Amino acid sequence: MARVRGEILIERPPEVVFDFVADERNEPRYNRHMVASSLESGEPIGEGSRFQATLRSAGRLVPMTVVCTGYERPKRFASHSSLRGAEIEGELTFEPEGTGTRMRWSWDVETKGFRRLPDPLVARVGDRQERRIWERLKALLEEDGLVGTAP
């Protein structure tokens, strides 16, 4: 199992960062690999919420299901993601720091199937990819005038 861990400081309050990230429908706005994401369960978002997403990977569209397994606003959002070739379990935590939020991610990635990749490679690629995703989130949330969340 590969472990992907990291953190970033975002200059927005924890409630703003948490609410934006917990609504997976927002992810295509900051994750270039995420083509689409929709809420399959009812509102409000919370533990048990289920999202259907589509990723672009190696030029192909890959369906993914994301289920919220832990929801402690504005401190912790845990999830389980299933897609062809991998299962991902983990969480995001949100801590106030100065006028912003220290967001940490912690993912356990289990690749499967005949294309299973070595854990050290998955961790190395995952670390780089997650850093890029969360840096884009930071830039988006810190832009002046950002209002609202996904439709």
- Residue 99 burial (CB < 10 Å; 0-12/13-18/19+)? exposed
- Distance of alpha carbon 90 from alpha carbon 4, whole angstroms: 9
Instruction: Convert the pLDDT of each residue in 20-32 to its tens digit.
Output: 999 999 999 999 9
pLDDT, residue 150, reads 47
Whole-prediction pTM value? 0.90
- Distance of alpha carbon 127 from alpha carbon 130, whole angstroms: 5
pLDDT of residue 144 exceeding 90: no
Instruction: Convert the pLDDT of each residue in 102-125 to its tens digit.
Output: 999 999 999 887 667 777 777 788
Looking at the DSSP bridge assignments, the partners of residue 79 are 68, 90
Which residues does 18 contact at the CB level (< 8 Å), separation at least 6? 73, 74, 75, 77, 94, 101
pLDDT band at 149 (very low <50, low <70, confident <90, very high): very low
- Distance of alpha carbon 82 from alpha carbon 9, whole angstroms: 28
pLDDT of residue 57 exceeding 90: no
CATH topology of domain 2-142: Alpha-D-Glucose-1,6-Bisphosphate; Chain A, domain 4 (3.30.530)
* Mean pLDDT over the full length of the chain: 91
pLDDT of residue 55 exceeding 70: yes
Each domain of the chain, given as residue ranges in start order, spans 2-142
Helix segments in the chain, DSSP class H:
14-22, 119-142
51 with 33: CB under 8 angstroms?
no
Percent of the chain with pLDDT over 90: 78
